[in-house]
Structure 1
Amino acid sequence: MIERKYPLRAIDKAAQFITRLFPLWVILFSVYALIHPALFQPYRGAVPSLLGLVMLGMGLTLTPVDFRLILTRPRDVFYGVALRYLIMPLAGFVVARVLSLPPELAAGVILVGCCPSGTASNVLTYLAKGDTALSITLSSVNTLLAPVLTPYIFLALAGALIPVRAEDLLADILRIVLLPVSVGLVLRVLFAGTVERLRMIVPLLSVVTIVFIIAIVIALNAAKLFTVAWIALTAVTLHNGAGLAAGFNAARSAGLGASKARALAFTIGVENSGLAAALAMAHLDPLAAVPGALFSVWQNLTGSVLAGYWGNAGFGTKDGE
């Protein structure tokens, strides 16, 4: 029994090590994609399927218990969902206007804001000693609402910038997000024992897949990226910072405790930027996928720093603070 458990522990430690260095892998493979774009460009059509694989992994980590807070703490969930789909789309719109971004980049920034919370928000909330249960519920509910809310909010804010049909976005989000998450959730319920034994592989698979998606986006925009990289990174920096700050302060203003506010900060400021990149590739312009790719790197860097500060400094460790 000990011999059988040891390889699993070794795999688990290796997966954790690789997952923790996610920003490093993104940077390394992005640079490699810039230097050798031809290696990644042929895989453009695989981006939606790759993201669907990530969403399947998310579904495998969920259980019906994760949605229990909808009934037991409806006020917290309502605030989290409402603020999520209010703050980030508007922040993206304002950033795009203030920086006078080209239409393709502006649409990409707004699309990032209209997408649901990223699964990394749960890990960051845990590290920050925030309300992890609330974070899991919010990211799950936001993801399930995305097929309805994301396309129509995006159309309202960016429809004049670049032609797009909300119905097409809705269909792709159903296929890329809702269907794989639902399948994963069902598999988790039906084969709980098997899924639990393989749980350490899911984050590793997600990291590898997202890194590959970002490399594809970078490769497809290699020729243009040097001319837009700084303005795009500025937009991403402002957008992410606005989400984290506004999420925390809006939650506190609504009377939520510090641990809940930390959960909302990450739920709002950390995006499913891979979905934004995939949708941009399919329905907008490859250049519109750049903000999503950059957001994936930046949000993990800023999120890790903020989570470390909150978690180690003991800032607002009690809900009443």
Structure 2
Amino acid sequence: SNVITYIAGGDVALSVGMTITSTLAAPVMTPLLVYLLAGAWVQVSFPGMVISVVKVVLIPVLLGILLRRLIGRHIEKLSGILPLISVVSIVMIISGIVAVNAEKIMTSGFLVLCIVILHNLAGMGLGLLAGRIFHVEYDKATALAIEVGMQNSGLAITLATANFAANPFATLPGAIFS
């Protein structure tokens, strides 16, 4: 979502702040939301989830902030290609997940695709609506809409892989998020 916010001209600092906040809440909120929405408690390794969150989100974000502070002027020269590198990396990860789940995608992938698209559009719509209601600037409204609508696919895939290893299909919604 941070890369998409950058590409869309949104407030990247706000996007990163929202990513960090939602990421820190993920180890508690994920099992709670599954319980509230599905009516079943899912056993999730809290320490494992925290470690996954730190590895997948916090370390890369903090490294990015640190590098920007230390060698910001040199990074500016690469700023045109860094989003492309991020997008290519995400596409490679998604391609691997789709390849592993190709057979299952053929049978129920369309339903999952529709649900994920509806989820993302509803989130983006609510994010835009909140931006309008609170009269925030365009770049902040853009970041808000993208952060609410596009969840962290890398984190979703990592958590699904770590906590639902018996069902590789669990990684598919995270792959489609992107």
Report the TM-score range of the alignment, normalised by the length of the smaller protein.
0.7 to 0.9
Paired with 2:61 and 2:143, the residues of 1 have a C-alpha distance of 22
Deviation string 1:231-259 (CA, Å, 9 cap, x unpaired) is 10111121011111111223333x32462
What's the CA shift for 1:270? 2.4
1:145 lines up with 2:21 in the alignment = yes
Does the 8 Å contact 2:20/2:58 carry over to 1? yes
Secondary structure of 1:119's partner? helix
- The gaps in structure 2 that reach 5 residues or longer are none
Paired with 2:127 and 2:33, the residues of 1 have a C-alpha distance of 20
What's the CA shift for 1:182? 1.4
What's the CA shift for 1:216? 1.0
Pair 181,151 (structure 1): closer, same or farther in 2 beyond 3 Å: same
Does the 8 Å contact 1:232/1:291 carry over to 2? yes
**Which residue number in structure 2 is paired with residue 75 of structure 1?**
none
Matches within 5 A, 1:99-248: 117-124=1-8, 126=9, 132=10, 135-159=11-35, 160=40, 162-248=42-128
**Which residue number in structure 2 is paired with residue 250 of structure 1?**
130
Taking structure 1 as the reference length, the TM-score comes to 0.49
**Which residue number in structure 1 is paired with residue 169 of structure 2?**
287
The aligned length equals 171
Deviation string 1:42-68 (CA, Å, 9 cap, x unpaired) is xxxxxxxxxxxxxxxxxxxxxxxxxxx
Secondary structure of 2:44's partner? coil
Pair 220,162 (structure 1): closer, same or farther in 2 beyond 3 Å: farther
What's the CA shift for 1:275? 2.2
Paired with 1:146 and 1:262, the residues of 2 have a C-alpha distance of 17
What's the CA shift for 1:162? 4.0
Deviation string 1:124-167 (CA, Å, 9 cap, x unpaired) is 2x2xxxxx3xx312211122224421121111011536431233
Taking structure 2 as the reference length, the TM-score comes to 0.84
Paired with 2:157 and 2:22, the residues of 1 have a C-alpha distance of 15
Which is higher, the Rg of structure 1 or of structure 2? 1
AA aligned to 1:150 is A
Secondary structure of 2:110's partner? helix
AA aligned to 1:246 is L
What's the CA shift for 1:291? 0.8
Runs of 4 or more above 4 Å deviation = none
Does the 8 Å contact 1:155/1:166 carry over to 2? no
Paired with 1:280 and 1:151, the residues of 2 have a C-alpha distance of 12
Pair 272,118 (structure 1): closer, same or farther in 2 beyond 3 Å: farther
AA aligned to 1:173 is V
- The gaps in structure 1 that reach 5 residues or longer are 1-116, 127-131, 297-321
AA aligned to 2:173 is P
Pair 194,121 (structure 1): closer, same or farther in 2 beyond 3 Å: closer
What's the CA shift for 1:209? 0.8
Paired with 2:27 and 2:55, the residues of 1 have a C-alpha distance of 14
Give the superposed CA RMSD.
2.1
